[in-house]
Amino acid sequence: MRRLLAVAALAALLLSGCGIPDDTRVTVVGAGPSGGAGPREDQIQSVPNPREAASDPRQLLTYFLEAAAGDPDHAAERVKAFLAPSARAGFEAAGPEIRVIRLKGDPVYRPSNQQFTFYAQTVGTLKSNGSLEPAAADPNGSAQYSVEVGPVAGQSGYFVLRPPPHRVLLLSDTALNDFYQRRTIYFWNNENTALIPDLRYMPGSIPSAQQPTTILNWLVTGPASWLGDVAKPLPNNTQAPENVPAVTNDTLSVTLTPQAAPAGDTKALDRLRRQLQWSLLRPDQGPQTLELKIKGQDPVRYSGQDYLVSNPADRLVETPQRFAIFNGVVHRVKSPQAGDPVPALRPEDNKNIASAALSTSATHTFVAVVTAGKNGKLRVGSAAAGAQATLHDVGLSGTLGRPVWAIAADGGPQGAVGLITVNGKLYSFAPDGSAAVQVDWQGEPGAITAVSVAPDGCRMAVVAGGRLYRATLDTSGDTVALSTPERLFPPLFSQVTAVAWSSETYLAVAGASADGQRYAVVDVSVDGALSYVRLADVGGEAVTYLTAYPANPTSHRENADAESYETAGAAWYVTSVPAKIPASDLVGVPANPPPGQTPTAPFFLF
């Protein structure tokens, strides 16, 4: 019996010895994954100068006004690094938002109290999502800032001894230009018919490999506030849970949470990928394939350039068809299509015209003309491509401005919306000649003198009361609605007279310069912060009308090649110097035109 017990105990002991061990030795399974071996360099575009680099107080001030540029999360730290230790404790930024200012004149340095004093215009607020919101306050009088700069005992270099009392992060507009890249991201409009561009500022300190992730996060947080009425954010609670990995295999891989596109909704998925492709890819460089992973769904790869059609701005051609009016008749300006007739306009209608607008969709051409004379009339019509339109009178009376076609939708003869100013008010009209409807304008900005609609059909720039505004146009309802306009503060101008879209992100603006005597044509970013002077001085005559054929976004040019303006009854090209459009440039104009008659009202076929 004891032997039996012993055997049973032995068996139990053996059995208890087996099972999963408590601890084992380290077992090498295999070599680790390869790839990414050795450090690689990624050029960081541009980083603001550190405090230590400043060699004199003025340079330090310049650098101080650059310091906020870069990653918005650490902007306050960078600014703090400029402050003297005694000032750091009391400094608290009001948030990650940065006030962009434009200096008026050089700062004045008073060595006696080590103080800089300068005036600056507030351009807007750079949000952490990269969008710049124009300042809401009326900055007629520029604010005064004073900064104390000097050395600190025991430490090398200069410090900001006392920061400006406003306790905000300041950024000069030049720093905005130097240390940020302008990137356009896209959102669908409410009808899901077109992508709306949204200008963002990408800090130059973000390595290019991390930029897609940043862009994706911008997309997830939604469009800029001024586009909120017309641009659709990604579906609620959509998140980008992962970084966008470095490009491998010519592919950019994007991961989104399941809310981004419900499983099975192929249309939503297709829209999403087009939005992402427009926002992340460039058709001529970088990765060409997008891999879209939505959690819970199989990843899909998209390559090719079929996405380009989703942005109406992609229809913009390299060489636009230009027209001008000579002696009441619409003529082509010389171009490769010089032999073609003026589209859609019947020859018998092509007379006594003061201004005109032409727009094409895939199937139709839309015409709007304003007849000359004291009682000018607006006549509109549409025709299938290649056919000629019957014009209908739109019952409008008063001083008619220049008509523009805001939208030329594909699919039918009625899918277009036009805008025109009548007696300083804005009216919308349809191609069937039905009665024009006044578009409500909130606030009392004064008489509207110029209107321009971006190729996307939603964003518009308006000149009213000599000021520049931007707004969005909502055509989805029965009537055309205008959002509350935001005033832009472009540099140089004391008064704005004309505006046109120069690209997706820039406006061509004409107006009187600061002294109010000379006029200039300047391209201004859509938020008014940055400027690019096209013509610094076009003379003392007021620029009454400006038109431009925007640059195609795939060309990455931010400014239009083709811009024309009208001043004192004559049409001019915008080139390096002002150049009058000669009658000889027009097709079908006799070789010796009667004197006193010049081409007027230049326009483009959109």
Partner 1 sequence: MPVRRALRVLRRYFRVLARRFENWSAPARRQWRRSLQLRIVAMTLAASSVLVGAFGFFVAQNSARILLNRAQDEVQSSLQSKTKWAASQLSVYYPLGPGVPDPKLPEAMTQTVTALADNDRAESGGSIVAMRAGQYPELKQVTSTKVSTDELITGDLVKSVAQDSKIARQVRTATIDGKKTKYLVYGSPVPTSFGHVELYYLVPLTTEDSAANQIRTTVLVTGLALVLLLGVVAGLVTRLVVLPVRGAARTAQRLSAGLLDQRMKVDGEDDLALLAASFNQMAANLQRQIVRLEEMSRLQRRFTSDVSHELRTPLTTVRMAADLIFSERDEFEPAVARSAELLQAELDRFEGLLTDLLEISRFDAGFAALDAEHTDLVPIVERVADRLAGLAERVGVAIELRLPETPVIAEVDPRRVERVLRNLVGNAVEHGEGRPVQVTLACDEAAVAITVRDHGIGLKPGEERLVFNRFWRADPSRARQTGGTGLGLSISAEDARLHGGWLEAWGAPGEGAQFRLTLPVRAGDRLLSAPLPLIPRDRVPTIEAGAAAPAADETAEVV
Interacting stretch for partner 1, rule CB under 8 A, among 13-21, 123-131, 228-236, 512-520? 13-21
496 φ, ψ (degrees, to nearest 5): -105, 140
Per CB under 8 A, does 296 bind partner 1? no
**Strand 169-172 versus strand 98-110 pairing type:** parallel
E-assigned strands of 295-424? 300-302, 322-326, 329-332, 353-360, 364-371, 378-384, 392-394, 404-408, 416-422
Residue with tokens 């930024």, as numbered in its chain: 93
- Please give the Cα distance from 553 to 532 (Å, whole number): 17
Per CB under 8 A, does 36 bind partner 1? yes
Per CB under 8 A, does 243 bind partner 1? yes
Per CB under 8 A, does 89 bind partner 1? no
Residue type, position 235, single letter = P
- Nearest residue (CB) to partner 1, 27 versus 576: 27
By CB under 8 A, what part of segment 459-518 binds partner 1?
Answer: none
- Nearest residue (CB) to partner 1, 35 versus 154: 35
- Asked whether 220 and 239 are in contact (CB, 8 A), the reply is yes
Per CB under 8 A, does 246 bind partner 1? yes
Residues 6+ away with beta carbon under 8 Å from 101: 65, 120, 121, 122, 123, 145, 170, 171, 172, 173
Give me the count of residues in the chain.
606
Interacting stretch for partner 1, rule CB under 8 A, among 27-35, 108-116, 148-156, 492-500? 27-35
Torsion sign, CA atoms 207, 213, 218, 221: negative
Interacting stretch for partner 1, rule CB under 8 A, among 22-30, 301-309, 425-433, 434-442? 22-30
- Please give the Cα distance from 545 to 547 (Å, whole number): 7
- Nearest residue (CB) to partner 1, 61 versus 215: 215
DSSP 517-555: SSEEEEEEETTSS-EEEEES---SS-EEEEEEEPPPGGG
Per CB under 8 A, does 153 bind partner 1? no
Which of 587, 599, 486, 475 is CA-nearest to residue 547?
599
**Least CB distance to partner 1 at residue 79 (A):** 16
Contacting residue, 85, 207, 304, 443, with partner 1 by CB under 8 A: 207
Interacting stretch for partner 1, rule CB under 8 A, among 209-217, 351-359, 400-408, 532-540? 209-217
279 φ, ψ (degrees, to nearest 5): -80, -30
- Strand, helix or coil for residue 85: helix
**Least CB distance to partner 1 at residue 244 (A):** 7
Interacting stretch for partner 1, rule CB under 8 A, among 37-45, 121-129, 148-156, 598-606? 37-45
Per CB under 8 A, does 336 bind partner 1? no
Question: Interface mask (CB under 8 A) for partner 1, residues 252-291, using x and -?
Answer: -x--------------------------------------
Contacting residue, 61, 84, 244, 430, with partner 1 by CB under 8 A: 244
CA 324 and chain centroid, separation: 29
**Least CB distance to partner 1 at residue 3 (A):** 6
- Asked whether 458 and 473 are in contact (CB, 8 A), the reply is yes
Per CB under 8 A, does 25 bind partner 1? yes
Contacting residue, 114, 128, 174, 213, with partner 1 by CB under 8 A: 213
Count the neighbouring beta carbons within 10 Å of the beta carbon of residue 256.
24
Residues 6+ away with beta carbon under 8 Å from 373: 352, 354
Which of 527, 494, 519 is CA-nearest to residue 572?
519
**Least CB distance to partner 1 at residue 208 (A):** 9
DSSP 168-214: SEEEEHHHHHHSEEEEEEEEEETTSSSEEEEEEEEETTS-GGGHHHH
Size of the site for partner 1 (CB under 8 A): 51
Per CB under 8 A, does 542 bind partner 1? no
Output the six-digit token pair for 341: 């007739």
Contacting residue, 28, 89, 153, 591, with partner 1 by CB under 8 A: 28
**Least CB distance to partner 1 at residue 248 (A):** 8
- Nearest residue (CB) to partner 1, 241 versus 264: 241
Per CB under 8 A, does 193 bind partner 1? no
- Nearest residue (CB) to partner 1, 38 versus 594: 38
Per CB under 8 A, does 30 bind partner 1? yes
**Strand 251-256 versus strand 289-294 pairing type:** parallel
Per CB under 8 A, does 52 bind partner 1? no
Count the neighbouring beta carbons within 10 Å of the beta carbon of residue 599.
26
Residue 416: HSE in the Cβ half-sphere, 13 Å Cα cutoff = 31
**Least CB distance to partner 1 at residue 599 (A):** 54
Contacting residue, 241, 264, 336, 595, with partner 1 by CB under 8 A: 241
Per CB under 8 A, does 298 bind partner 1? no
Per CB under 8 A, does 12 bind partner 1? yes
Per CB under 8 A, does 26 bind partner 1? yes
- Nearest residue (CB) to partner 1, 78 versus 127: 78
**Least CB distance to partner 1 at residue 10 (A):** 7
Per CB under 8 A, does 178 bind partner 1? no
Torsion, CA 501, CA 505, CA 511, CA 512, rounded to 10: -170
**Strand 322-326 versus strand 600-604 pairing type:** antiparallel
Per CB under 8 A, does 74 bind partner 1? yes
**Least CB distance to partner 1 at residue 222 (A):** 21
What is each CA distance from 294 to 87, 186, 297, in whole angstroms? 48, 19, 5
Interacting stretch for partner 1, rule CB under 8 A, among 10-18, 187-195, 579-587, 595-603? 10-18
Q: Which residues bind partner 1 (CB under 8 A)?
A: 1, 3-4, 7-8, 10-12, 14-42, 71, 74, 207, 209-210, 213, 241-246, 248, 253
